[in-house]
């Protein structure tokens, strides 16, 4: 198993825009979210921070739905810079969503509306001089990964013919499309990790580990699924967050309890089933 991101599995639609799950390239499935008019309702939890439902919908819609993105940003211009954490620190901006899916029209609209362009959007849009100068200023930056762990070369390839020179340049550099190292697990070995793990008293204080299509996925309350990538010794990282570790205890036959480690933060969880 590796985290090489590809274009399989089309984005069905931005999660918020349709109120259904959206399937992203290899390793991420966004949670369902109800649709609704942007301006409905009074102040929300966290006000005056921007409404997280608008933020989430904008980032979700930016994977495909230009009309909805224009509506959202039209009513709330600051959403051009919306950013959402899909789980475990897999941050994605609206522009980042458009960039890795090759949505040029959405990306150009967001930039015109004030979105902050980065190397990933520049690569998809075919701005080879910008990409070259950024790499020159910070050697090795071509190895940096975008949202969902998608590498820079994949962003350039998403831009099609207009980004062909960026693809050529990145391929000449090397390192812009390398997979992260992972260790394979057989479907039978995966089964020992399947279960439900609790970190609090309520039903929402849980993570579920699932097996689908001979891969392991982790699912949190009101969150999308994230593929788990095995790195050995009962340790995994979730797609899009290679610095986070999910560590399973183990006995002779089945993985035991679960710890989530993110830098200095550690959360120990108890297997429920």
DSSP lists the bridge partners of residue 228 as 238
The pLDDT of residue 265 is above 70: yes
Q: What is the arithmetic mean of pLDDT over 228-245?
A: 96
The predicted structure's pLDDT at residue 242: 95
94 is written with which tokens? 């609206």
For residue 29, the model assigns a pLDDT of: 66
* Nearest CA among 147, 75, 73 for reference residue 114: 73
Alpha-carbon span 170 to 183, nearest angstrom: 27
Predicted local confidence at residue 28, as pLDDT? 64
Tell me the pLDDT tens digit for each residue of 77-121: 999 999 999 999 999 999 999 999 999 999 999 999 999 999 999
Pick from 75-89, 93-107, 155-169, 191-205: least confident: 191-205
Cα torsion angle, 16, 62, 47, 86, sign: positive
230 has a pLDDT exceeding 60: yes
Question: For the chain, how far is it from start to end, CA to CA, in angstroms?
Answer: 26
Q: Please tell us whether the domain made up of 187-271 is placed in CATH 2.40.128.50.
A: yes
Q: Which two tokens stand for residue 62?
A: 């930016």
Confidence of residue 141 (pLDDT cuts 50, 70, 90): very high
Residue 168 tokens, joined = 């050529």
The residues of the chain that CATH labels 2.40.128.50 are 187-271
pLDDT exceeds cutoff 60 at 234: yes
Interatomic CA distance for residues 122 and 174, integer angstroms? 18
Residue 251: pLDDT band with limits 50, 70, 90: low
pLDDT score for 16: 38
What is the third-level CATH fold of 15-173? Answer: 1.25.40
Rounded CA gap, 28 and 49, in Å?
27
In this predicted structure, the answer to whether residue 207 has a pLDDT above a threshold of 80 is yes
> Cα(44)–Cα(75) distance, rounded to whole angstroms?
17
Residue 7 has pLDDT above 90, yes or no: no
Domain with CATH 1.25.40 in the chain: 15-173
Give the per-residue pLDDT at 250: 72
- DSSP designation for 77: G
From the list 75, 72, 67, 63, the residue with the least C-alpha distance to 15 is 63
pLDDT for position 5: 36
What is the DSSP track for 195-263?
Answer: EEEESSSSTTSEEEEEEETTEEEEEETT--EEEEEEEETTEEEETT-TT-EEEEEE-SSSEEEEEEEET
Dihedral sign of CA atoms 23, 27, 32, 37 in order: negative
Determine the pLDDT at residue 273: 76
Does residue 8 register a pLDDT over 90?
no
Q: Per-residue pLDDT tens for 15-65?
A: 433 333 444 556 666 655 444 444 455 688 899 999 999 999 999 999 999
Give CA–CA dist 103/90, Å, rounded: 20
């Amino acid at each position: 198993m590796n985290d090489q991101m590809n274009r399989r599995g089309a984005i069905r639609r931005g999660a918020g825009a349709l109120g259904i799950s959206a399937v992203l390239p290899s390793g991420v499935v966004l949670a369902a979210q109800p649709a609704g008019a942007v301006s409905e309702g009074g102040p929300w939890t966290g006000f005056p921070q921007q409404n997280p439902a608008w933020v989430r919908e904008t980032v979700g819609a930016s994977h495909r739905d230009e009309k909805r993105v224009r509506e959202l940003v039209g009513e709330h211009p600051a959403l051009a810079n919306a950013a959402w954490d899909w789980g475990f620190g897999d941050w994605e901006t609206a522009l980042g969503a458009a960039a890795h899916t090759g949505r040029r029209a959405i990306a150009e609209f967001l930039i015109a509306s004030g979105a902050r362009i980065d190397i990933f959007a520049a690569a998809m849009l075919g701005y080879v001089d910008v990409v070259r100068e950024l790499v020159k200023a910070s050697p090795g930056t071509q190895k940096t990964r975008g949202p969902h762990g998608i590498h820079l070369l994949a962003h350039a390839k998403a831009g099609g013919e207009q980004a062909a020179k960026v693809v050529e340049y990145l391929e000449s550099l090397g390192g812009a499309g390398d997979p992260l190292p992972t260790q394979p697990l057989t479907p039978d070995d995966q089964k020992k990790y399947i279960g439900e793990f609790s970190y609090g008293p309520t039903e929402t204080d849980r993570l579920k580990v699932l097996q689908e299509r001979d891969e392991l996925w982790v699912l949190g309350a009101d969150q999308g699924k994230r593929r788990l990538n095995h790195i050995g010794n009962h340790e995994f990282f979730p797609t899009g967050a290679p610095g986070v570790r999910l560590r399973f205890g183990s006995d002779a036959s089945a993985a035991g309890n679960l710890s989530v480690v993110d830098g200095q933060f550690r959360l120990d969880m108890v297997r429920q089933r």
